[in-house]
Amino acid sequence: MSGPIGMIIQHDLRDWAQRQSQCHDYLLHGSKILKDGWWQLNCDLELNNPPEFIIDKEVSLNRFYLFVEKTWIFQQLILAIPLFLIGGISWLVWGISVRIVISLGGHWLIGYFAHNKGERTWKVEGAAVQGHNVRIAGLLSMGEAWHNNHHAYPGSAMLGLYSDEPDLGWWVLNILHNLGIVKNIKLPKELPFRSELVAEAENLDSRVERVPEDCKIAKFIRNGT
């Protein structure tokens, strides 16, 4: 993994590659599960002619993001020090080492299945890879497992697009948006039309779309201040 800027570059490279007509197995999770796990968790893909990504200056020149990018490994000390002081080595191992292994392993595992198996509401014609919705992991992954929706609307801040798709990440964003901390949120209806996007599900007319809502917690905070 990496800091926020490094994650943006990795994510944009993967999404760009998956939208092409052909894609390297490393970037499309196209190998058998054990080989893919070894690749994703232990290796890096170096391209001879990588695409160039231009990150908005609001991010690339932001002092806070640059600081987090340079210190992301050391951020574990914020949690590691109190864990060690409270519970010693055992708390440190379980709270840092085991937690990181489970988090990174879980991130890869959801990514593997989200590009190979699961429900599909949409199809992106001409793309080497189709995303899949992994319903069992929707809540646990903070919405990341609604990956078919992400492939359909990559610019959307909302991943769980329907009421039966729990999206914890969106709930947090919705609260922050209500508080005025997060702005300029993009949703599917505000994104450019994609002629290559085709609906596969036959029950779209009966499904309830999720929309931004007034948050009672945010309203209480606003009234209190």
Tens-digit pLDDT profile for the chain (225 aa)? 788 999 898 888 999 999 999 998 999 998 999 999 999 988 888 888 888 888 889 899 999 999 999 999 898 999 999 999 999 999 999 999 999 999 889 989 999 999 999 999 999 999 999 999 999 998 888 899 999 999 999 999 999 999 999 999 999 999 999 888 888 899 999 999 999 999 999 888 889 999 888 877 777 777 765
Distances in Å between the Cα of 131 and the Cα atoms of 128, 143, 184 are 10, 13, 25
Q: Tell me whether residue 190 is exposed, middle or buried, using C-beta atoms within 10 angstroms of its C-beta: 0 to 12, 13 to 18, 19 or more.
A: exposed
- Alpha carbon distance 194, 25 (integer Å): 25
* Other CB atoms within 10 Å distance of the CB of residue 65: 17
Within the chain, residue ranges assigned H as helices are 4-19, 25-28, 33-42, 57-60, 63-71, 77-92, 99-114, 147-152, 168-178, 216-224
Strands 122-124 and 197-199: antiparallel
Contact 190, 212 (CB under 8 A): no
Contact 170, 160 (CB under 8 A): yes
Q: Can you give the pTM of this predicted structure?
A: 0.85
Q: Which residues lie closer than 8 Å to 44 by C-beta, 6 or more apart?
A: none
Contact 152, 197 (CB under 8 A): yes
Q: Which residues lie closer than 8 Å to 28 by C-beta, 6 or more apart?
A: 17, 18, 115, 128, 129
Contact 41, 104 (CB under 8 A): yes
DSSP character for 136?
G
